[in-house]
Amino acid sequence: MRSRLGVLFGAVIALTGLVSVPAFAEPYSDVRVDVAATPKLNWVDCDGGFQCATASVPLDYDRPFGQKIDLALIRLRASDPSKRIGSLFVNFGGPGSSGVDRLRQRAERTWIFSPELKARFDLVSWDPRGIARSAGVRCFPTEAEQQAFYAARPEMPGDPSGEAAFYSDAKALAAHCQSQAGEILKHASTANTARDLELLRRAVGDAKLTYHGISYGTQLGAIYANLFPGRVRAMAFDGSMDFVGNVSGHGDQGTTVPLDSRQDVPRGIADTFEYFLQQCKLAGPKCAFSAGDLRAKWEAIVAKAKQGPIVVDGTSYSYSAIVNAAGDLSIPSGYADTASLLQKLYDAPTAAAARSAAVAGEPYLSNRDEAFNAIQCTDSVFPRDPAVYSAAAITEDQRVPYFGRIGVFDMMSCAFWQSKDDDRYTGPWNRPTSAPILVLNARFDPSTPLHGAYDGAKQLARAQVNVIEGSGHSTMFAISTCAEKMKREYLFTGVLPPASASCKVDAPPFG
């Protein structure tokens, strides 16, 4: 809510003559953003039919006239200007993904952005604050040091014997970031990215925001929708999250349950793995792992890996590496390769472990892992005691065999993170928006499970879940022409499809 302090702040700003305060027709707004200068965008051609620009935004919205940072933007103009609706802002998730690079790579994927959609919208994306070209969080002086650190990292512990080294490494990454990354760590929250997005909406001249958020981009969308509920034209959430679970947890979970465990990502992984086995069996010879009892074969692989690493094609696979490979089912087009690996693991003997060499390099642009930690550790509450994680690894593996510990250990550095952003968003989540929100989710999504999408939609004031029958993480990978049409018709009109409507994927994972 726009607080009395915010009103007084706006009045003081107006009296100074620095900037005029706009009139507010809506019940909620963020006066710090409303008084900040709208960025001036100088779009220039940057190859492939794209245009690029830089937007100057406040580093700290508590000081909207203070230090600025630059955000890198990219757009693809609407192909039919006579039918153009406006700009469609796209966040591809992460957090940590470069929107500039992702739009370049994916604008031609018709199952995400059909010709019909691109005719009527300018596609706009950006590197959010802390990422790549936009005041990127860099925890190492050079790429050589970055890659050497990552190459030497211990893997997820498969049993208590590996936990001490894993915790020490996670603490070391947090320390590197604290000493190297600078002021951006104090202002890297998704709430500040939502404030940036509001300035970008103003900069392109749209009266209200049209938005497509993918994966973590749905968390960004939910925060924007609650900070600026009267400025929503249409929002499509794609591979969506449990927003309360992500930020604070339900009840006392924030300090007692690791983040992905409290969102029950392990159950999403396990359900998707069962679907993978089912589809493999149905595919027969098209799936290399299809012969025999697939569940028994998987259990035999795991039992063998617990005795020692398994070598396949010169690469050594530990227990943890195998569990991670089997649970990495976000992209159905890769299921055939996963099946082939599992069959080779089943056929192979055990052998000694091997470690890949470090990669050298120079000052670097890619900072996805560092940005992920800087944003996620800032946004959310985490248990701080490593003993909580050790205990949870046992109970989660009992609850969800093989995959339970993935949700325990995948954000371990956040237990040791030192920087905080006082402007992070913790709710409310149910402010009525000026348009309803469409939520699309695959039935089997190991990264943003369907149960989390339903939980998140219930937290919002006006949201509806429509299911894609199949597997994959968001419509980037759960490829469905039907879902793209459902999404674009909603983005054109702002009208939700029937609540009962669902879509099938275009093809099963094994063809």
Mean pLDDT is lowest, of 252-256, 325-329, 491-495, for 252-256
Distances (CA, A) of 132 to 72, 283, 364: 9, 41, 9
- The reported pLDDT for the residue numbered 11 is 41
Amino acid at 365: L
The per-residue pLDDT for 385 is 96
**Residue type at position 477:** F
> What b/e readout covers 122-135, taking b as 16+ CB neighbours within 10 angstroms?
bbbbbbbbbbbbbb
Alpha-carbon distance of 444 to 335, in angstroms, equals 13
Q: How confident is the model at residue 3 (pLDDT cuts 50, 70, 90)?
A: very low
Contact in structure between 312 and 454 (CB atoms under 8 Å): no
| Distinct helix (H) and strand (E) counts, the chain | 20, 12
Q: What is the mean pLDDT of the chain?
A: 91
| Distance, CA of 226 to CA of 111 (rounded, Å) | 29
- Please state the rounded mean pLDDT for residues 467-472: 98
- What the block records as the tokens of 384 is 């701080």
> Cα–Cα distance between 37 and 64 in angstroms, integer?
8
Token pair for residue 149?
Answer: 């650190």
User: Encoding tokens for residue 109?
Assistant: 């994927």
Least confident of 73-87, 136-150, 326-340, 425-439: 136-150
**pLDDT, tens digit, 9 for 90 and up, residues 408-457:** 999 999 999 999 999 999 999 999 999 999 999 999 999 999 999 999 99
The percentage of residues in the chain with a pLDDT greater than 90, rounded to a whole number, is 86
List 124's β-bridge partners, or say none: 75, 89
The strand pair at 437-444 and 463-471 is best described as parallel
54: left (phi over 0), alpha (psi -120 to 50) or beta: beta
The CA distances from residue 402 to 220, 322, 398, in Å, are 31, 10, 9
Q: Would you give the distance in Å from CA 474 to the centre of its chain?
A: 11
Q: Report how far residue 495's alpha carbon sits from residue 405's, in angstroms, rounded to the nearest whole number.
A: 41
Is 314 in contact with 278 (CB distance < 8 Å)? no
Give the tens place of pLDDT for each residue, 329-358: 999 999 999 999 999 999 998 654 444 333
For residue 140, pLDDT beyond 60: yes
Q: What are the CA-CA distances from residue 259 to residues 95, 225, 266, 369, 383 (Å)?
A: 15, 23, 11, 17, 9
Residue 363's pLDDT band (cuts 50, 70, 90): very low
pTM: 0.91
In a 3-state reduction of DSSP, which class is residue 63?
Answer: coil
Read off the DSSP letter of residue 227. Answer: H
Q: Is the pLDDT of residue 12 over 70?
A: no
Contact in structure between 348 and 137 (CB atoms under 8 Å): no
Distance CA 209, CA 90 (A): 11
Least confident of 138-142, 214-218, 360-364, 447-451: 360-364
Longest dimension (CA), the chain: 78
Per-residue tokens: 281: 């069996």
Residue 15: per-residue pLDDT: 36
- The per-residue pLDDT for range 372-413, each reduced to its tens digit, is 999 999 999 999 999 999 999 999 999 999 999 999 999 999
Residues 208-235: pLDDT tens digits? 999 999 999 999 999 999 999 999 999 9
Is residue 23 predicted with pLDDT exceeding 90? no
Q: Average pLDDT for residues 55-80, to the nearest whole number?
A: 97
Category of 494 on φ-ψ map: left (φ > 0), alpha (ψ -120 to 50) or beta: left
Q: What domains can be seen in the chain, in order of their start residue?
A: 1-35 (no CATH), 42-134+187-248+428-504 (3.40.50.1820)
Spatial distance between the Cα atoms of 327 and 405, rounded to a whole number of angstroms:
11
Backbone angles phi, psi at 28, to 5 degrees: -130, 145
Left, alpha or beta for 302 (phi > 0: left; psi -120 to 50: alpha)? alpha
Would you say 440 and 237 are in contact if contact means Cβ atoms under 8 Å apart?
yes
pLDDT category of residue 474 using cuts at 50, 70 and 90? very high
Q: How confident is the model at residue 364 (pLDDT cuts 50, 70, 90)?
A: low
Token look-up 């000026």 returns: 434
Q: What is the bridge-based pairing of β-strands 44-45 and 51-58? A: antiparallel
Which pLDDT score is estimated for 351? 56
The whole-angstrom separation of Cα 169 and Cα 175 is 10
Residue 419: which of 182, 247, 254, 185 has the closest Cα? 185
**Could you say which DSSP state residue 108 is in?**
T
Dist. CA 90–CA 217, nearest whole Å: 8
